[in-house]
Amino acid sequence: MKPAPFDYLRPSSLAQALEMYAAATDVKVLAGGQSLIPLLSMRLAAPATLIDLGGLAELAGIEVDGSVVCVGALARHAEVERHPGVRATQPLIGQALRLVAHPTIRNRGTTVGSIVHADAAAEMPAVLCLLGGHVVAESVRGSRDIAADDLFVGPLETSLAADEIVTGAYFPALPAGAGTAFDEVSRRHGDYALAGVGVVVECDGDRVSRVRAGYISVSETPLVLDLGAAFADGVVDAAALDRAAALVTEQVEPEGDIHASADYRRHLAGVLTRQVVEQAYAATVVRQGAA
Amino acid sequence: MSEHRHDVRLSVNGAAHDVRVPARRLLSDALRTECGLTGTHVGCEHGVCGSCTVLLDGQPVRSCLIFAVSAQGHQITTVEGLSRADGTLGAVQQAFQECHGLQCGFCTPGFLTTITAGLRDNPDPTRDEARDMIAGNLCRCTGYQNIVASVRRAAELLAGDAGGVGEGERA
């Protein structure tokens, strides 16, 4: 349970980090380390070089304006979770973060690190996809935006080039009159979810106009489903929730493993959809009442 | 070929420790081996059990999920730093003793550090909040009942003794 030897580099600027990353082969980037260090300790990964971003205060920021939440690559989950501007601008972020591992892990782990780790059982990749967010990837060649839909290409696999480091993740603000919720089922507090779902319900006056859901642990990459067909009459009632649960149960194709069978995960996806859509809809009413 | 070693200054419980370690040395191992502070216990070594929890700039973190080289420049508090300046037990430690909050004691350092920080954020937790506070720490002996009682007792002790919290006092 000790990592294999590696060369350790600790850049003092992003420019230096990008140069180091471009020059090295067999290299990993270390931010919070809450996923990477267990992989190193179990020797599931043994890179020749590790670049520790820990000294780059320029990447630690969390910025909020009316339309977007920007989370820097070194911002810890706990900092994002506690940020009042984040909560006000896009409540789904905090609702999902409270389910990421334990508070002690969230004190150290980074939200961007969790996204680029690209685990389909993790909450934040699904949140970024559901909200239609993007990341900014930088390299010595320049900078580019990558939409969440284009980022996740397989289990633990992203479309980042070998020399690119993600420096920030951008989550669009919640539209007026919309509501969100996130919930999951896990065997123990803080464990990976057997299945989980985040939901955004948008309203046009009294009518529900759009219902979308992002799923974790039921697919190889984060899965976003448009549940609009179930809510075509514009209301959230028992019949519509039944239709939504049926729609999801038909569409998800989870894998079974030692923790849960494929059928059980599919069942959970349906049950959670029903519950979480109802919570997100209730939040639209609360938000409209507060406005 | 010998492995390259890094000179690192670790600031632990208010004292500087200059150590020379390979980059792969986990903070948990550096605290125990290089600093000689064996109060921090190493259980699972992949962030699940919570035994190795220490405070980094006052926040609980898993010392098995941080490299010692990354910890330079931060204030580290281990279980040894939770006692009072005169060497007597700090409030959380005293509560564990009074409420029989430990049996074998292996997991206890992680609970003590976690609860010390938890009570700073929430000085009067309900039973449910106390359970939530310790949900990231595993204990295989007690069934947690007496640990939850210890959290509540520590909150009482701290409320009645404004100067009693050990963490940071000696830093």
Mutate to test the interface with B, among A2, A56, A107 (most CBs of B within 10 A): A107
Do A195 and A215 contact (CB within 8 A), yes or no? yes
B164 found inside a domain:
no
Mutating which of B62, B72, B114, B132 best tests the A interface, going by the most A Cβ atoms within 10 A?
B62
Q: Cβ distance A74 to A110 under 8 Å?
A: yes
Residues of chain A with Cβ-Cβ distance to B66 below 8 Å are: 33, 37, 108
Domain edge (last residue) among B81, B105, B131: B81
- Chain A residues within an 8 Å CB radius of B24: 2-6, 40
Residues A80-96 have a mean pLDDT of 97
For A73-88, letters b (16+ CB in 10 Å) and e give bbbbbbbbbebeebbe
CATH of the domain at B107: 1.10.150.120
Q: What is the pLDDT at residue B36?
A: 98
Calculated CA dihedral for residues B129, B131, B133, B138, nearest 10 degrees? -170
Q: Which pairs from A251-254 meet CB under 8 Å and 24+ separation? A: A251/A225, A252/A215, A252/A218, A252/A219, A252/A223, A253/A218, A253/A219, A254/A195, A254/A217, A254/A218, A254/A219
A54 interaction partners in chain B (CB closer than 8 Å): 70
Identify the domain boundary among B21, B56, B81. Answer: B81
A43, closest residue in chain B (CA to CA): B46
Q: Which domain does B42 fall in, by range? A: 5-81
CB-CB contact of A124 with A32 (8 Å): no
Cβ separation B136–A105 shorter than 8 A: yes
Is it the case that residue B164 has pLDDT exceeding 50?
no
Domain span(s) for CATH 3.30.43.10 in chain A: 7-55
State the nearest Cα–Cα gap between B149 and chain A, in angstroms: 20
CATH code linked to domain A7-55: 3.30.43.10
- Residues of chain B with Cβ-Cβ distance to A38 below 8 Å are 46-47, 65
CA distance B135 to chain A (A): 7
Q: How many CB pairs under 8 A join A and B?
A: 83
**Interface pTM (ipTM) of the complex?**
0.93
Q: Which of B60, B61, B135 comes nearest A189 by C-beta?
A: B135
Across the interface, whether the CB atoms of A190 and B69 are under 8 A apart is answered no
Q: Is A12 on the interface with B (CB under 8 A)?
A: no
pLDDT above 80: residue B71: yes
Band the pLDDT of B166: cuts 50, 70, 90: very low
User: Looking at chain A, which residues constitute the CATH 3.30.390.50 domain(s)?
Assistant: 179-290
Is pLDDT at A288 greater than 90 in this prediction?
Answer: no
Amino acid of residue A31? A
User: Is A155 within 8 Å of A179 (Cβ atoms)?
Assistant: no
pLDDT class of B171 with cuts at 50, 70, 90? very low
| Domain presence at residue B166 | no
> Mean of the pLDDT values across residues A88-116?
97
Q: How far apart are CA A238 and CA A244, in angstroms?
A: 10
Would you state the CATH architecture of domain A57-172? 2-Layer Sandwich (3.30)
Query: What is the homologous superfamily of the domain A179-290 according to CATH?
Result: CO dehydrogenase flavoprotein, C-terminal domain (3.30.390.50)
Average pLDDT over residues A121-142: 98
Tell me, what amino acid is at A239?
A
Tell whether B41 and B99 lie within a shared domain: no
Cβ contact, residue pair B56, A107, below 8 Å: yes
Please state the domain count of chain B: 2
Mutate to test the interface with B, among A104, A108, A189, A192 (most CBs of B within 10 A): A104
Gyration radius of chain A's alpha carbons: 19
Residue B167 has pLDDT above 50, yes or no: no
* Mean pLDDT of all residues in A186-194: 91
Q: pTM to 2 decimals?
A: 0.94
- Report whether pLDDT(B136) > 70: yes
Residue ending a domain, among B81, B109, B135, is: B81
Determine, yes or no, domain membership for B170. no
